[in-house]
Structure 1
Amino acid sequence: MIQFNFQSIPDLAGQRLILGFDGQTLNAELKHLITEYRTGGIILFRPNIDSADQLRRLCMDARKYALDQGLPDLFVAVDQEGGQVARLRNPFTEFPGNPHMRTLEDARQFARITASELSDMGINMNMAPVMDVAPPDVDSIMKDRVFTGDADRVSQLGTTVIQGLQEGGIMAVAKHFPGIGRTVKDSHFFLPELDAELSDLKQTDLVPFDAAKKAQVSGIMLSHILYPRLDPHWQASLSKRIAYDLLRTDMGYQGLVMTDDLDMKAISHDMDTCIYRIMTAQIDMALVCHAGPNIAEARDAAMRYLEKDRELYESGRICVRRILAAKETFLV
């Protein structure tokens, strides 16, 4: 059983963050994120990776350092979808990506090999699979990253990947809820909108996420897309209506819920507002994927709201219990 001080505001705030960093070793910056910010996890990108030996040492050193500080083990996350979004390249197995995954055996092979390679590096969370549905008549921003086919086919291939990753000890994170396959703008640079009724989403976009829930996917990532028929004011990653009312209450999902990267251009709000919205929506974890002032601002805002708002403090404890339960299952 993971030991955790639920009275500690810094620990409660830190466990709800997954943070990026510069460097390829357990350097002073990474130590600071662990010791001072008490981060629940880290996320890796290409600049963090030089070789298999270096990557394994980085992941193992960071996880051991967190444990040595009396903290829970770290989530170590990466985006390893295959194709254009694969942080680990040669000598790791390079898959062509979801559009080229034609059979369930393709999906099983991808998941089995990917889980083995990630686990060997000390990585324990894959921000995959993409569960978005891209209709053939839409020039989807996701067309090079989605499984080909309708919602049922996406569900079949995606849940096969989820099961294979998790059987191999790697937490799978389905994305990007409630679905961005019909959007044509890139949320890295813009705030896209999807003006669809909930009834329409339930027939298409939400089908794979319901299947992922039934497959006991470890995590679901929220998109940065605005769905004005669901919430006219806030994109999914900041929306209580979408993250709590729809995903948690209506669909009954009980695993981890996390934002996409809060450094993306679709997020135009200040970090204080973002963290308040995330905590109000009972979103478990916020991703801040690049070194910079947003990391400190996110952590400071989380601390401030936990200290002054009893309701956010109590709901925050529930979120951290979910985080620790996932760590108990996959990391211990």
Structure 2
Amino acid sequence: MTQFDFKSLSDLAGQRLIFGFEGQSLNSELKYLIKEYRVGGIILFRSNIESADQLRRLCMNARKYALDQGLPNLFVAVDQEGGQVARLRKPFTEFPGNPHIKTIDDAREFARITASELSDMGINMNMAPVMDVAPPDVDSIMKDRVFSGGANRVSRLGTAVIQGLQKGGVMAVAKHFPGIGRTLKDSHFFLPELNAELSDLKQTDLVPFEAAKKAQVSGIMLSHILYPKLDPDWQASLSKTIAYDLLRQDMEYQGLVMTDDLDMKAISHDMDTCIHRILIAQIDMALVCHAGPNITEAREAMMRYLEKDGELFESGCACVKRILAAKERFLV
């Protein structure tokens, strides 16, 4: 990994992308993404998983292929929260989800078993835990995915999961910054708004993310929610004000910052605009989770903007340094 020339344009762009793909093996599509697009990571869904043996072969073969192409080891990510969002089902352990995690011991047990099962498959990144706070008087879209209770309880349980996953060699990604627990609409289908003042967010929604930072969480995922009092023009996943000014500068978070899936309906902008905004906001990694033209458009836009804008190129080098540091720490 130390010999990786991350200043080459293709590699600089590719390492900042996590893509989904179709199939259950190291097929021609996946080889193309790794070899030609130089991707930093892939993300798995249920359609990619048939059995434990098949999944292990897929992950190990993909990671080896990346190394054979002169790339750093590959992020292999999955959403394994438990409950309704769990890509790995039986024979893997099926947990009922965050609302059923009541104690620190519960959180540690979930994290220990999940980390063991994921790492045994060759998966090294879990898009969990959810660190959103859902007030009891709000019919939150997240009510079936959050830890129950207020910000302090979410912080305690969430950091126990973070520490347990990472102790087991799996990177944890806290989501969905700066908090979507009070939203009523699903960003898979709509662009929700949370019209909260920053002072209000600091008292509730941001508390678990501050705790996650102190627990040295590997990554934080940005929401696709619009927060008009913070940025009236751009949702968090495309907002320099939220991703850079608030998270990176004010909160001094030094780990990886990544978008939620740019294929979701909350993103109505074209991929060129999305990538430009991501680069301006110095967001480390962009997720495009489904096979299709958006993958090619994202990579081409990333290449184009890095080539023509010296400032974006330089800040991009800093992003890739963070990515490589995370890979050095967790991917062996």
Query: What is the aligned partner in structure 2 of residue 78 from structure 1?
Result: 78
Equivalent AA in structure 2 for residue 151 of structure 1 = A
Does the 8 A contact of 1:2 with 1:328 survive in 2?
no
Q: What pairs with 1:1-332 in structure 2 (closer than 5 Å)?
A: 1-332=1-332
Question: What's the secondary structure of 2:26's corresponding residue?
Answer: coil
| Aligned mates of 1:171, 1:232 — CA distance in 2 | 32
Does the 8 A contact of 1:20 with 1:42 survive in 2?
yes
How much has 1:6 moved relative to structure 2? Answer: 2.8
What are the Cα deviations for residues 142-171 of structure 1, in whole angstroms up to 9, with x where unaligned? 000000000000000000000000000000
Equivalent AA in structure 2 for residue 123 of structure 1 = I
Equivalent AA in structure 1 for residue 219 of structure 2 = G
Equivalent AA in structure 2 for residue 129 of structure 1 = P
Does the 8 A contact of 2:132 with 2:181 survive in 1?
yes
Does the 8 A contact of 2:237 with 2:243 survive in 1?
yes
| Aligned mates of 1:321, 1:106 — CA distance in 2 | 35
Question: What's the secondary structure of 1:258's corresponding residue?
Answer: strand
| Aligned mates of 1:284, 1:324 — CA distance in 2 | 11
Question: What's the secondary structure of 1:174's corresponding residue?
Answer: strand
How much has 1:76 moved relative to structure 2? Answer: 0.1
Equivalent AA in structure 2 for residue 173 of structure 1 = V
Does the 8 A contact of 1:108 with 1:164 survive in 2?
yes
Question: What's the secondary structure of 2:260's corresponding residue?
Answer: strand
Equivalent AA in structure 2 for residue 62 of structure 1 = A
Question: What's the secondary structure of 2:316's corresponding residue?
Answer: helix
| Aligned mates of 1:112, 1:218 — CA distance in 2 | 17
Does the 8 A contact of 2:25 with 2:58 survive in 1?
yes
Question: What's the secondary structure of 1:99's corresponding residue?
Answer: helix
How much has 1:177 moved relative to structure 2? Answer: 0.0
Does the 8 A contact of 1:193 with 1:228 survive in 2?
yes
| Aligned mates of 2:292, 2:8 — CA distance in 1 | 25
Does the 8 A contact of 2:162 with 2:215 survive in 1?
yes
How much has 1:4 moved relative to structure 2? Answer: 1.5
**RMSD over aligned Cα atoms:** 0.5
| Aligned mates of 2:19, 2:36 — CA distance in 1 | 13
Question: What's the secondary structure of 1:188's corresponding residue?
Answer: coil
Question: What's the secondary structure of 1:259's corresponding residue?
Answer: strand
Equivalent AA in structure 1 for residue 330 of structure 2 = F
Does the 8 A contact of 2:7 with 2:317 survive in 1?
no
Question: What's the secondary structure of 1:54's corresponding residue?
Answer: helix
Number of aligned positions between the proteins: 332
User: Identity over aligned residues, as a percent?
Assistant: 85
Question: What's the secondary structure of 2:43's corresponding residue?
Answer: strand
Does the 8 A contact of 1:3 with 1:72 survive in 2?
no
Question: What's the secondary structure of 2:3's corresponding residue?
Answer: coil
What are the Cα deviations for residues 165-197 of structure 1, in whole angstroms up to 9, with x where unaligned? 000000000000000000000000000000000
How much has 1:2 moved relative to structure 2? Answer: 2.9
| Aligned mates of 2:61, 2:289 — CA distance in 1 | 20
